[in-house]
Structures are given as C-alpha cells and as structure tokens.
C-alpha cells in the first residue's frame, strides 16, 4: 500500500513571497502519478498541479511548480509570489496508473496561511 506524508501541518508566508510545501511518499511501483490539490475554505478540492513519475522534468503551472525527486520519493510544491487567494489546505496525493482501482491516497494536508 502507498503512503503519503506531509510533515508540515501549517505554513505561513508573507504575501508576494515564496513558500515550499513538503511531501514524501512510499511506494514499490515505478510508474505512478502525483498531484497537489488545493482545498479552500469553501471546501471544493481543486487540482493545482500534477506530475508523471516517468517524466524527469518538473511540472510547472504559472506560479506553482514542483520539485520531484523520484529516488528520494519527494514531491514538494513551490508557490511563488504568494497571493491571498492561495490560502487553503493543500493535499499531496498519489495514484497508481490504473487509477480507478485504488483512488487517490492523500497526505494529511498542510494549512497554508498568507499574511497580508
């Protein structure tokens, strides 16, 4: 079974600064997908960024980028130029290539606070 660990229950950053959220995972599989989901106070989970394990290039989506270290089983999220609207719970998630068989395995989440 896969496990996902987010070691930072809460992080705080000043508006316009950069913050990095940590995520590690454990799996015996060589191919899989990793995601960061954002859950704002309204509670709808929104996909932020995704990464395929067999791609070495780190995914980037505007101000959001990841540092994917496959050997270390690490998948951190960097948010540049933090904005007030970035305040939310962030969940790191893992899924096997088959997808439907297991669903997403989530970490416990990191509560991100943006200081104005």
Please give the Cα distance from 39 to 91 (Å, whole number): 8
Q: Report helix, strand or coil for 42.
A: coil
Please give the Cα distance from 32 to 41 (Å, whole number): 29
Q: Within positions 20 to 49, which residues make up the interface with other proteins, using CB under 8 A?
A: 33, 35, 37, 42-47
Cβ–Cβ < 8 Å for 64, 50: no
Q: Is residue 16 a contact point for other proteins (CB under 8 A)? A: no
Q: Is residue 98 a contact point for other proteins (CB under 8 A)? A: yes
Q: Is residue 113 a contact point for other proteins (CB under 8 A)? A: no
Neighbours of 66 (CB within 10 A): 25
Residues in contact with other proteins, shown as a per-residue x/- string from 59 to 88 under the rule CB under 8 A: ------------------------------
Binding site for other proteins (CB under 8 A): 33, 35, 37, 42-47, 50, 52, 91, 95, 97-104, 106-109
């Amino acid at each position: 079974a896969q496990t996902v660990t987010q070691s930072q229950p809460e992080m705080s950053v000043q508006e316009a600064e950069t913050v990095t959220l940590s995520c590690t995972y454990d799996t015996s599989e060589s191919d899989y997908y990793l995601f960061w989901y954002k859950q704002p106070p309204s509670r709808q989970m929104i996909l932020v960024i995704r990464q395929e394990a067999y791609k070495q290039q780190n995914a980037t989506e505007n101000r959001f980028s990841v540092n994917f270290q496959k050997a270390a089983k690490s998948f951190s999220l960097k948010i540049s130029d933090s904005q007030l609207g970035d305040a939310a719970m962030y969940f790191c998630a893992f899924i096997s290539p088959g997808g439907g068989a297991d669903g997403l395995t989530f970490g416990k989440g990191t509560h991100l606070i943006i200081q104005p």
